[in-house]
Structure 1
């Protein structure tokens, strides 16, 4: 076993005194190299201890000193990022700059030529002003909420020319008749000087699907040419089979979203849409106008059919009866409407039955109900009917009586003004007069009565139910129209007529 080594001074290196464990053996002196000495010292002394342990000890402070020394050395050795001194660049002369600039990409980006620019010669003379184009050709469009005059003004047409154009096309183009997206092909001519607008030389646009208008300036005066365009009005039939969705199947077959929405509302009047499933077949016929030039306009829904897998068949046709358009089944039965409409926008102030009359001063039968409403408020027909009476009627004042069929009738009293006339056919919700205080009345209100076979009944106990029905010759015409639409083939049948066959209207 060896004991602790001691360091001493030596000529060639350190001297290490070692002693054996036996006391009888004298120590002997061994020479040690300096590398062994450093290695021995480094193993005994830890310069980089863990600073998280033994806080405050001599070993911890030794590690802290080592860390501080390393940080100091790193900061002192940080390089400088300042500018390095260098020789300045030579400033190019104006001629050198122009030569370099002409060969860069910048002139190309600005629309100029590349290469060296030559100096002007004596043959070059400056112009007093830049020459203008003799004509300008513009293409404009009418936007949503835009007007014909505003679109022309936006394109640079003068106000005088706009007034002239509107005066010449006034019989063909009314306010708001041009649909958004209508294209305007405009040609502006040469102007006398820069202080006046360019004159309108030509204007072409499509006034309607069946009419094209062209204006040309001849001898200083605008002249108009109307070109009629032949139109095929054959309805468009769209059929298909429902897959996962009726809407998607109809869209894939070519129906517009608006047409499909209308079709679904019509079908929903008869059956629940939840019952429509894969395998059911839909049948849609819409009004369609197709011009010989290829443009087309899809109109309203005319017929909606459905063939279900269970065998149920539904045919709905739009038909105008008594001046009112509505949907009817193939049997001629229309939609059913239940309940009365409100005769006025007001609140109930007096009910049906015996009451003390505020003017006569005694109790008597109140044969209707009263609605409080402001003076002049509109009064509406509660259901379709015919005006049986309209005029002055004793204590009722200005009075209107409607006959609704089936022995039912309604009366409207104390009006300030009557707008219906005897014998007139009115519709549900149509205005027949205005609230007033004529007759035996203490203030503006509506006295409303309901009659069953001529006798007054409590209006709150009556619910009208109306079902439209087509009969007689009208039913025959209805079924003929239905058969005609169902016989159409898919897609529009259009006979294209050459444009050379058109007769151009005279100027």
Structure 2
């Protein structure tokens, strides 16, 4: 009898435990958190079908919406309502877009998202009777990086070997355009940069920020560059060296950014094969570059000639002031007209072979007081250095950057790379 009692008690305990276990499982199920909704540009994608596409040649805003069952009277209403925020005529072939479509049987477009770039978009919402349009900017994280590189052939090849894109190479070239002749870089020249990269979602690279500081070691000399705002009212940043001298000067070293070679220099006794090897003065400097390479004006000024004439071919002449003028010959095509005001670095044409020339190049001629001279032998005016009253603030500002640059070291192999990252800001 006792055995039966114990057995019944044991069964009762087991059943009780099972009930408790079941209750526990039910409680666990109850407290399970639902998955968070997937949001895109602020919209919950659970409520829409999503179409990602690219604007094709000949497509318009209206054509796209019509494809997704939005009638033209409604399209006209949308276009009129949002015209102050977004001009639908400016949609461009090749630009990506996203359409959010209703999940019902109509499968009708509700929201159109035009992506200007990886960061910025315009969102047009017409799912209700009220049409709205707004700008959307993804959060961008800015990361500071350091890099050290050694020239093995030229700047472009070296930067490319470091995994850096041409945009950063061009910025470096712009910073040193007044102080470095990139054609004369030597194997073994070195550089260090403190610069910024921008990311969305921590992984998608969306471009470079500013170069905060740099140093280029050329022929054993360190050429420092620090970005600094001297006038807080104008808020214009310039690059200065370690002594407070502005790197920017009145004239650029070359009308070609850096992909060039000097094929012929200013030479009053040059013999020209094209003219029977006779002595014929060459009063310019020839910069050989690939056909179609942009040509920049080396200083700001007014275009006084833009024409095609004789051996000059397509050419442009710019008057900078009462003392200096420059001329650019043999262009493929001109980009300016007489009377235009051009700023230093503006594209005034492209390298060609018009006129008397045996290969693609730009002949760069330089006038001083009405006479053609060799700009490489002239002591040209430079921009004003920092005022003495500002220099103490500047020296204090660049001190940590100088230490940071000096602490970046080179790995032993050629074109080595070293990165150090620090999250600076989230815009």
TM-score, normalised to structure 1's length? 0.37
Indicate the structure whose relative CO is greater, using CA pairs within 8 Å and at least 6 residues apart. 2
Structure (1 or 2) with the larger CA radius of gyration: 1
